[in-house]
Every structure is written in C-alpha cells, then in structure tokens.
C-alpha cells in the first residue's frame, strides 16, 4: 500500500469511492437587522409573502428530489413545508411584529426559540431536526432581505465539504457535478448521509473541524466504505486509488447486470438474498434490485404520520399491495415496533427516561393487545388474498413467555377469522427478531417455539455494547463486527440449526460486503438488506467458498475488537480481488 500521507477518518455514511477537487460549502453569515416598524400590518404581509416564496421553492426542491430518486427522501422537504405552515411559529413572530419588531428579527427569534426547544428533546433523531427549523428560517429571511442564502453553484465535478450540510444545501446542488460529500459533524442518520445514499454518492461524516481547513480546489480521495478522506495524495496513492475506484465501478456494473440471477457461491451453494422494505412505495425496489423476497417488512409506516390507528381494512389493503410484489416468494413481516426512537403521537405513550429500555416492540402487547390482534387479523387476511409465502415475526423479544403469548394471540386471531367464515393462509411461519442479548443467550430454548430467527444487528449491537444507536458521539463504537456481537450471532445460528430452524439477518450488517464472508462462514441462511445493496452482496457471494469462510469466521471470533475483525476480513476480501 502506498504511503497514505494526510488522511482524516470519519464515519462511513454512504458507500463508494470518489476522487476530485474540493468545494467548501459555507453558510453565509446573515446580519439580521433590528428596527421598529410603524405599519405593522404591512410588516406582517411582508412576512407572509416571504413565507409563500419559501414554500414555492421548497415544493420545487421536493419535486426535483423525488424525480431523481426512487426512495422517499423528498419527505425531508415535506417536513420543511410543515414548518412553514406551523401556526405556533407564525403566531409567535406575528406577536413580536405587533409589538413593533421588524419581520426579520421577529421571524428569526421565533425560529431560534423553536429550534432550541427541539434541541432539548433527549432523542438524537428529533433534536437533530433543529437543523431543519434553522434551514427553513434562513430561507424565509433570505426572501425578506432579498438575498440568496442557500445553494452553491458548481462549475465542475467536485467533492463537497461542509460542516453538516442542511437539506437545502444538499438538494440544491447540481447532483451531476457532485462526486462525494465530506462533513465535519453529523452522524450516520444525518441528512447528508440519507441524501447521499439516495443519490448513490459516497459520503463520510463526522470528520471533525480539520476537514473544513482543507483549501478549496484541493485534490482529495474519498473512501465512503472505510470512512477515510486522503488529502493531496501522492502520485502512487492516487494511482492505487484510481485502480480500486475503477474496479469497484466495474464490479457495480457487473453486479447490476447479474442482479436478477441467484446468488450461488463459488462452490455451488445457493444463498438467499432478500430485501428490507418499509411500505407500499418502496416494496417494488426489492424485486427491481434482484431480491428473492423480503426479509424484513417494517410495518411502522402504516401507523406513523397519521392522526389515528389504521383500521383492519386499511391494513389489509396496504399489506395486500406490498405482498402482490412478491408472488410465491417469502415475505417476513415484522409486527409493529414502536417505542425507543419511534413514536406515534396519537397513542399518547408515556414519556420514559430510557425509551430504548422501555415499553417498546412486543412488550406493548402487555397493555395494548388490541393493536397486535388487529394487525394479526389484517396480515392473515392479506396473506390469504395473495400468493405470498407469509412469515410473521415479533420485535424486541427478550424471553420465552413473550413468544408464547404472541403466538397464542396469532392463533386466537386465526381461529376468530375462521369462525367468521374468513379465509386464512394454510401455513404461516412464526419467528422472532433476535436483537436483545437475552434472546441470543436463550436461543436454544426460544428455537423450540419458533420457525425461524431474524437477527437485528442494529439493536443487538446497541444493547450488547451499551451504545445508543442514535447518538452520533458514540457512533464509532457501535460496530456489529465487535467479537461480542459476533459471539451472539454465532450462538443464535448454532442453536437454531440444532433445532432444524433457519436464521436470517436483517440489520445493516447484512448489506456490508466486508461482513458477508464471516456471516456465511457462521452458517447464516438468509441475508436481508436495503434493496440497493442486493446486487453487490449477490456478487460478493459468487466469489466465496464456504470452507474458507468458515475458517475466517473461526479466526475472527478469537480476535479482541471490531477493528481487528475488520482488518482481517478486509484482507480476506482483498485476496479475493474484491474492491471494498
Ligand atoms: C435491527 O434492530 O437490526 C433491525 C433490523 O430493526 P430496526 O433497525 O428497525 O430496529
Ligand atoms: Mg430493531
């Protein structure tokens, strides 16, 4: 490997390699004037008109983002529109104007008040949305001042550097000229990360202040797979990187072409590669990318963004629409998994000090059984109306009693439907998510009560390592390749196989090329990932031999930490000539 020279390491937020010259996106500092107004009604009209202009712009941005991606990233601008129509926000600004304050000052004070309120919510996902409020604030005040405050004009292909880019910064850039994103702050769930993934561009976030000191126009190499940015590379490093970049592009092209073919290992074993989907909108993406079914259908979408519980009929309709994309194929539906960082306002869930350790997932059956009964009824009826191979699983299981209670409820739902003369599927597999360490430790006992396990490494990692998955300050510690997490994965697989049951994995880890040989070596039966990752993982599988993977798994299980595991697995992948 060539001398690496100056390199900054951050959090890999969107995969891929890119090289190019930097453009620094800085937020223009706005001077907000403060003066007394006489004609208060005219000033309120001025604010109204600025908000209207901002709404038109946001609507146009939303449309252009949704035209360029198939996923639902445009929803960020839906949220911006909601801020622009927020009555409390407007009322507060109006009140200040009625007291004689000019519109710019009144509006920005109200924006800052609400942004700070948001920041104080002890939930990273919600508190980080203060950035949206301030983004909207600047957009409106730009119209009041008659200056352009968002958007950077690109003239050539560039690597974008910034602190934490706002959605407006990111979306208003000409994507044909963006090569990659590198940001000083932000975590894996930041807007930059979400939008970069949606556009298929590499991104590294959380690089620290030093990234902002790079001069504009400097050549950098961005490794979105490892989370590294090389600054002003040597000739030798550049040519090595370019080779890798070319090899990865070639492999992506081959993978895309072969996406619809099954994943068969180099020694002739079929591997089941399926998709994670989140609703009616993205259900077709799995099939389009070559997934052979669904390994995780997150049903939360049906319950969020509305004012009351979805009825049984509404649910039947939505599930039927999703299932119809996968005739004769397995679809694993996860029962409602809320609590933790996912909230449903109309349920008025009590506030908890530690929501990730609280009343979430299947624990809600004790106290809100009706919700699950209705969902079981809807799923069974949708299953009977379609040709899908229906599998149902429950989230956040920590022990045997929860499994038996949920299974009994599913049986009660089926019995009631039959007695009402309604059709139910002949066979429905019943499984559980293994995402709490106790479930992995009790896997030998739990395996007797289920048809399958699906390992949720996102939560299993947070609970095993005591690392909040939404806290960007500790994001670097949350690595599922930690040998402690791998030990629980191995135990889960071994216990299931001893009972003749199959095991899938539906956390982000399933879509990581570096993890594929380890997981195959541990005996994982099914890999479920975001649809865009399906072609590449299938292509990786085609290079693997089970014996060698088993040996690799044995070696890494004995290592001391996640970095050692990553290093050894990366060397294994390199030896196969895979460019990750
Ligand atoms: C997981 O925890 O790994 C998982 C797949 O579920 P979610 O990310 O929805 O919690
Ligand atoms: Mg989970």
User: What's residue 31's pLDDT?
Assistant: 81
Catalytic site residue from 19, 80, 191, 495? 191
pLDDT exceeds cutoff 70 at 1 = no
Query: Which ligand 1 atom sits nearest the alpha carbon of residue 462?
Result: 2
User: What's residue 72's pLDDT?
Assistant: 62
- Name which residue sits closest to atom 1 of ligand 1, judged by CA: 456
In short, whether 360's Cβ falls inside 6 Å of ligand 1 is: no
- Residue 159 pairs in a beta bridge with 22, 180
pLDDT exceeds cutoff 80 at 96 = yes
The per-residue b/e assignment along 532-567, b for 16 or more CB within 10 angstroms, e otherwise, is bbbbbbbbbbbbbbbebbbebbebbbebeebeebbe
Mean pLDDT of 170-174: 73
CA nearest to 162, candidates 139, 180, 182:
182
Q: Please confirm, yes or no, whether 506 is among the known catalytic residues.
A: yes
In short, whether 435's Cβ falls inside 6 Å of ligand 1 is: yes
User: CB atoms < 10 A from the CB of 468, how many?
Assistant: 17
Give the global pTM.
0.74
In the three-class reduction of DSSP (H, G, I as helix; E, B as strand; rest coil), residue 258 is classed as coil
Decide the pairing of beta strands 294-298 and 330-334.
Answer: parallel
What do you get for the CA distance between the two ends of the chain, in Å? 14
> pLDDT tens for residues 499-534?
999 999 999 899 989 999 999 999 999 999 988 889
In short, whether 245's Cβ falls inside 6 Å of ligand 1 is: no
Q: Name residue, tokens 């590449």.
A: 536
C-alpha torsion sign, points 245, 246, 252, 255: negative
User: What's residue 543's pLDDT?
Assistant: 96
| Tokens, residue 219 | 């050549």
Mean pLDDT of 203-211: 90
In short, whether 189's Cβ falls inside 6 Å of ligand 1 is: no
Report the range out of 79-88, 134-143, 278-287, 360-369 with the highest average pLDDT: 360-369
Mean pLDDT of 455-479: 88
Mean pLDDT of 279-307: 89
Q: In sequence order, what are the residues at sequence separation of 6 or more whose Cβ sits closer than 8 angstroms to the Cβ of residue 224?
A: 12, 13, 14, 15, 16, 17, 18, 180, 196, 202, 203, 204
* Band (471; pLDDT cuts 50, 70, 90): confident
Round to whole Å and give the CA distance between 201 and 203: 7
In the reported structure, the alpha carbon of residue 457 is separated from the centroid of ligand 1 by a whole-number distance in angstroms of 7
In the reported structure, the alpha carbon of residue 398 is separated from the centroid of ligand 1 by a whole-number distance in angstroms of 15
C-alpha torsion sign, points 291, 276, 386, 500: positive
Mean pLDDT of 58-78: 73
pLDDT exceeds cutoff 80 at 105 = yes
| Tokens, residue 555 | 């070696």
In the reported structure, the alpha carbon of residue 362 is separated from the centroid of ligand 2 by a whole-number distance in angstroms of 11
- Name which residue sits closest to atom 3 of ligand 1, judged by CA: 456
Mean pLDDT of 333-354: 86
In the reported structure, the alpha carbon of residue 295 is separated from the centroid of ligand 2 by a whole-number distance in angstroms of 13
User: What's residue 264's pLDDT?
Assistant: 98
343 compared with 38, residue with greater pLDDT: 38
Choice from 395, 488, 519, 528 to test ligand 1 binding pocket (greatest atom count within 8 A of CB): 395
Share of the chain above pLDDT 90, in %: 65
Mean pLDDT of 320-343: 92
* Band (322; pLDDT cuts 50, 70, 90): very high
Q: What are phi and psi of 294, to 5 degrees?
A: -120, 130
Mean pLDDT of 253-273: 96
The per-residue b/e assignment along 198-217, b for 16 or more CB within 10 angstroms, e otherwise, is bbebbbbbbbeeebeebeee
Mean pLDDT of 262-282: 93
In short, whether 506's Cβ falls inside 6 Å of ligand 1 is: yes
Report which DSSP code applies to 280. T
User: What's residue 77's pLDDT?
Assistant: 82
In short, whether 457's Cβ falls inside 6 Å of ligand 1 is: yes
pLDDT exceeds cutoff 90 at 272 = yes
Round to whole Å and give the CA distance between 579 and 463: 32
Round to whole Å and give the CA distance between 328 and 202: 35
Query: Which ligand 1 atom sits nearest the alpha carbon of residue 459?
Result: 2
Average pLDDT, whole number, for the chain?
Answer: 90
CA nearest to 277, candidates 257, 293, 256:
293
Round to whole Å and give the CA distance between 131 and 168: 10
- For ligand 2, an ion, list residues with CB under 5 A: 435, 456, 459
pLDDT exceeds cutoff 70 at 28 = no
CA nearest to 77, candidates 29, 136, 123:
136
> pLDDT tens for residues 392-413?
999 999 999 999 999 999 999 9
Share of the chain above pLDDT 70, in %: 94
429 compared with 216, residue with greater pLDDT: 429
Ligand closest to the CA atom of residue 489: 1
Mean pLDDT of 325-331: 97
In the reported structure, the alpha carbon of residue 467 is separated from the centroid of ligand 1 by a whole-number distance in angstroms of 14
* Band (70; pLDDT cuts 50, 70, 90): low
In short, whether 456's Cβ falls inside 6 Å of ligand 1 is: yes
Q: What is the chain's Cα-based Rg?
A: 25
In short, whether 458's Cβ falls inside 6 Å of ligand 1 is: yes
Which helix H or strand E contains 116, and what residues bound it?
A: helix 103-119
DSSP symbols for 540-552: HHTT--HHHHHHH
Mean pLDDT of 293-321: 92
Q: Name residue, tokens 């399906």.
A: 534
Lowest-confidence pick of 71-75, 257-261, 536-540: 71-75
In short, whether 298's Cβ falls inside 6 Å of ligand 1 is: yes
User: What's residue 67's pLDDT?
Assistant: 72
* Band (148; pLDDT cuts 50, 70, 90): low
* Band (171; pLDDT cuts 50, 70, 90): low
Are the beta carbons of 117 and 127 closer than 8 angstroms?
Answer: no
- Name which residue sits closest to atom 6 of ligand 1, judged by CA: 456
User: What's residue 186's pLDDT?
Assistant: 77
Catalytic site residue from 182, 495, 506, 549? 506
Round to whole Å and give the CA distance between 160 and 196: 11
User: What's residue 165's pLDDT?
Assistant: 78
Round to whole Å and give the CA distance between 401 and 439: 11
In the reported structure, the alpha carbon of residue 434 is separated from the centroid of ligand 2 by a whole-number distance in angstroms of 9
Round to whole Å and give the CA distance between 247 and 425: 47
Query: Which ligand 1 atom sits nearest the alpha carbon of residue 454?
Result: 5
pLDDT exceeds cutoff 90 at 282 = no
Mean pLDDT of 3-24: 87
In the reported structure, the alpha carbon of residue 342 is separated from the centroid of ligand 2 by a whole-number distance in angstroms of 11
């Amino acid at each position: 490997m060539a001398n690496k020279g100056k390199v900054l390491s951050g959090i890999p937020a969107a995969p891929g390699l890119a090289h190019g010259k930097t453009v620094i996106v800085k937020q223009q500092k706005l001077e907000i004037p403060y003066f007394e107004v006489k004609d208060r009604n005219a000033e309120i009209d001025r604010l109204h008109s600025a908000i209207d202009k901002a709404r038109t712009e946001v609507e146009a941005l939303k449309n252009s983002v949704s035209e360029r991606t198939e996923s639902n990233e445009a929803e960020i601008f839906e949220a911006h529109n909601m801020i622009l129509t927020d009555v409390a926000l407007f009322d507060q600004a109006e009140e200040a104007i009625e007291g004689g304050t000019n519109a710019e000052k009144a509006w920005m004070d109200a924006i800052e008040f609400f942004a700070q309120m948001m920041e104080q919510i002890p939930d990273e996902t919600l508190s980080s949305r203060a950035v949206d409020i301030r983004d909207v604030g600047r957009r409106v005040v730009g119209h009041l001042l008659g200056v352009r405050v968002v958007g950077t004009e690109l003239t050539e292909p560039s690597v974008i550097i910034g602190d934490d880019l706002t959605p407006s910064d990111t979306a208003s850039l000409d994507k044909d000229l963006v090569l990659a994103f590198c940001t000083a702050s932000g975590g894996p769930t930041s807007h930059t990360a979400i939008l970069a993934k949606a556009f298929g561009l590499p991104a590294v976030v959380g690089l620290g202040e030093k990234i902002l000191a790079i001069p504009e126009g400097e050549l950098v190499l961005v490794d979105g797979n490892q989370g590294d940015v090389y600054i002003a590379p040597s000739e030798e490093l550049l040519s090595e990187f370019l080779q890798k970049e070319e090899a990865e592009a070639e492999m992506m092209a081959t993978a895309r072409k072969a996406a619809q073919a099954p994943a068969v290992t180099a020694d002739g074993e079929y591997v089941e590669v399926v998709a994670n989907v989140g609703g009616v909108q993205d259900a077709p993406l799995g099939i389009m990318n070559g997934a052979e079914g669904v390994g995780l259908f997150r049903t939360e979408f049906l319950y969020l963004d509305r004012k009351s519980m979805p009825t049984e009929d509404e649910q039947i309709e939505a599930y039927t629409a999703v299932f119809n994309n996968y005739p004769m194929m397995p679809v694993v539906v996860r029962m409602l998994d809320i609590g933790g960082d996912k909230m449903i306002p109309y349920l008025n869930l009590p506030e908890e000090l530690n929501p990730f350790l609280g009343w979430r997932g299947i624990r809600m059956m004790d106290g809100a059984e009706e919700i699950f009964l209705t969902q079981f009824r809807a799923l069974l009826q949708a299953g009977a109306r379609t040709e899908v191979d229906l599998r149902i699983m429950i989230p956040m299981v920590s022990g045997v009693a929860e499994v038996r209670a949920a299974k009994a409820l599913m049986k009660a739902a089926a019995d009631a439907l039959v007695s009402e003369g309604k059709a139910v599927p002949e066979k429905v597999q019943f499984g559980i998510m293994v995402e709490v360490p106790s479930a992995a430790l009790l896997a030998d006992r739990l395996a007797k009560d289920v048809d399958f396990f699906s390992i949720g490494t996102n939560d299993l990692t947070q609970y095993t390592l005591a690392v909040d998955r939404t806290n960007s300050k500790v994001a670097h510690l949350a690595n599922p390749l930690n040998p402690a997490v791998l030990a629980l994965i191995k135990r889960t697989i071994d216990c299931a196989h001893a009972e003749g049951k199959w095991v899938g994995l539906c956390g982000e880890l399933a879509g990581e090329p570096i993890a594929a040989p380890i997981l195959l070596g541990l005996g994982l039966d099914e890999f479920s990932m975001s649809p865009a990752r399906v072609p590449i993982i299938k292509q990786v599988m085609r290079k693997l031999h089970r014996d060698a993977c088993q040996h690799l798994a044995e070696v890494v299980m004995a290592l001391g930490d996640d970095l050692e595991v990553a290093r050894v697995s990366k060397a294994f992948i390199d030896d196969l000539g895979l460019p990750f």
